[in-house]
Amino acid sequence: MSVQTPFRALSRRAPAVQCLHPRSQRWQHQRSMVTVVPPVTQDSTSSKGPTAMVFMNMGGPSTTDEVGNFLSRLFADGDLIPLGPLQSYLGPLISRRRTPKIIKQYADIGGGSPIRKWSEYQAEEMCKILDKTNPETAPHKPYVAFRYADPLTEEMYAKLLEDGFGKGKGGRAVAFTQYPQYSCSTTGSSLNELWKWRQRMESPSRNPSLTPAEAEGSIQWSVIDRWPTHPGLVNAFAENIEAKLQTYPEEVRDKVVLLYSAHSLPMSVVNRGDPYPAEVAATVWAVQQRLGFRNPYRLCWQSQVGPSAWLGAQTSDTVKNLVQKGQKDLVLVPIAFTSDHIETLFEIDQEVIHEANELGAEGRVRRAESLNGSPTFIKGLADLASAHLKSGELCSKQMGLRCPACKNEKCLQSKKFFSGQDKPDNEAFIM
């Protein structure tokens, strides 16, 4: 069997038909993910490290000065906001118009997004745990790659090469999405970007300055592409919800309505077949199960942008409606993001809850803490990454399927690459 894959350390790859993983750890079962490779046999006497653990996320402006660049990159991303052939003209126009309003929002939450601080902290703490649980791939080195803010994907990639990965030396890197639920507009966009920079920096056809030895020893990538029902995630959410419920008098505690709130998607993306709504619902169900379904709950959607149709019901409408009907005890739970950001600190805390109080909610509409520095969450990240490293899997089985209405050539190419199916004999696997 050919071992000409870009993942040489993981190269004892089974043919595509033999891709189910034999392990029976619970989270792997729940995820029902593919294993494209059998587990790597670890040599107990020597480490296969270092291993780069790359946290991928959208990022946010750390200061108000960065808002303009953040928005211009965001509106230039056709995977997030497809503006067709007019993208390079309309993108800058819309982002420039939007910048003053968004600067004000970041100023109101303390002058910037805390996402970089939290991402760096979570990645570092996770790597410390992995060094203990997975000595065979140690040391684990934390990296952050943001899509629209520093450190950008290209910056992270350059640092990887500078730190001794690739360039003839190979080395293993795990692209670990920090969006628990997969959307082509979020994780898909980050993977497409990572694939683009991998081609530019490590593909001999795109980078003629590479020597054959350097091209041969490129970085071996694998991907953690979704984890909507991982027990570490579910427990961390449940703990924060329980803590918030404790702030209500005992006699009303079980009557508090839990309003899970996720960033919405345009209906055009939903109808394309994007997996995100189903995966968000899976997280909600798993958290509810863990909480014993003691409280009534709903899933609603926030942060719509622009005039097109978005998935509803909107969080702000739902809160207003319930408060007006007399249901004032509500806990909002941001369920699709793992740290605080403008949507929690501004939209929920300063807009939705403020509006509820104006309607007479008397401070009884509250928000569960974001996961941020939760030790349960960070331990969960480490458990997930540990199992991934030991499994030798390249990505989940879901990566083999594109959205039914996807016409994006980048999705096809990057999915082929990350699933190790970019060789002609395996072409049929990506659909």
Ligand X SMILES: C=CC1=C(C)c2cc3[nH]c(cc4nc(cc5[nH]c(cc1n2)c(C)c5CCC(=O)O)C(CCC(=O)O)=C4C)c(C)c3C=C
* By the rule CB under 6 A, 185 interacts with ligand X: yes
DSSP 8-class letter at 217: T
Could you say which of ligand X, ligand FES, none residue 224 binds, taking C-beta under 5 to 8 angstroms by partner kind? none
Residues numbered 249-268 forming contacts with ligand X, rule: CB under 6 A: 263, 265-266
**12's tokens:** 């004892």
* By the rule CB under 6 A, 81 interacts with ligand X: yes
* By the rule CB under 6 A, 395 interacts with ligand FES: no
Torsion angles phi and psi, residue 23, rounded to 5: -65, 160
* CA 341 – CA 353 distance, rounded (Å): 16
* Least CB distance to ligand FES at residue 414 (A): 9
Residues 407-412: contacts with CB under 8 Å, at least 24 apart: 408/79, 408/184, 408/192, 410/79, 410/192, 410/195, 410/196, 411/184, 411/188, 411/192
How are beta strands 172-177 and 140-146 bridged, if at all? unpaired
Helices (H), 207-275: 212-216, 231-245, 267-272
Q: What torsion do the CA atoms of 342, 348, 349, 351 make, to the nearest 10 degrees?
A: 100
Closer residue to ligand FES in complex, CB, 56/319: 56
The site map against ligand X for 83-122 (x = CB under 6 A) is ---------------x---x----------x-x-------
* By the rule CB under 6 A, 413 interacts with ligand FES: no
Catalytic residue among 79, 225, 274, 383: 383
Closer residue to ligand X in complex, CB, 114/232: 114
Catalytic residue among 230, 263, 341, 388: 230
Is residue 140 annotated as a catalytic residue, yes or no?
Answer: no
Out of 402, 414, 417, 426, point to the residue binding ligand FES (CB under 6 A).
Answer: 402
Nearest-CB residue for ligand X: 60
Closer residue to ligand FES in complex, CB, 69/408: 408
Contact 367, 349 (CB under 8 A): yes
Q: What is the DSSP string of 178-206?
A: S-SS--TTTHHHHHHHHHHHHHHHH-TTT
Residues numbered 46-75 forming contacts with ligand X, rule: CB under 6 A: 58, 60, 74
The site map against ligand X for 22-41 (x = CB under 6 A) is --------------------
* By the rule CB under 6 A, 348 interacts with ligand FES: no
3-state secondary structure of 91: helix
Closer residue to ligand FES in complex, CB, 8/397: 397
Please name the residue that has the structure tokens 């899970």. Answer: 260
Could you say which of ligand X, ligand FES, none residue 342 binds, taking C-beta under 5 to 8 angstroms by partner kind? ligand X
* By the rule CB under 6 A, 406 interacts with ligand FES: yes
Q: What torsion do the CA atoms of 145, 147, 153, 156 make, to the nearest 10 degrees?
A: -30
List b or e across 186-223, with b for residues whose CB sees 16 or more CB atoms inside 10 angstroms.
bbbbbbbbbbbbbeebbeeeeeeebeeebbebbbbbbb
* By the rule CB under 6 A, 334 interacts with ligand X: no
Is residue 383 annotated as a catalytic residue, yes or no?
Answer: yes
* By the rule CB under 6 A, 399 interacts with ligand FES: no
* Contact footprint for ligand FES (CB under 6 A): 184, 188, 272, 402-403, 406, 408, 411
State the catalytic residues. 230, 383
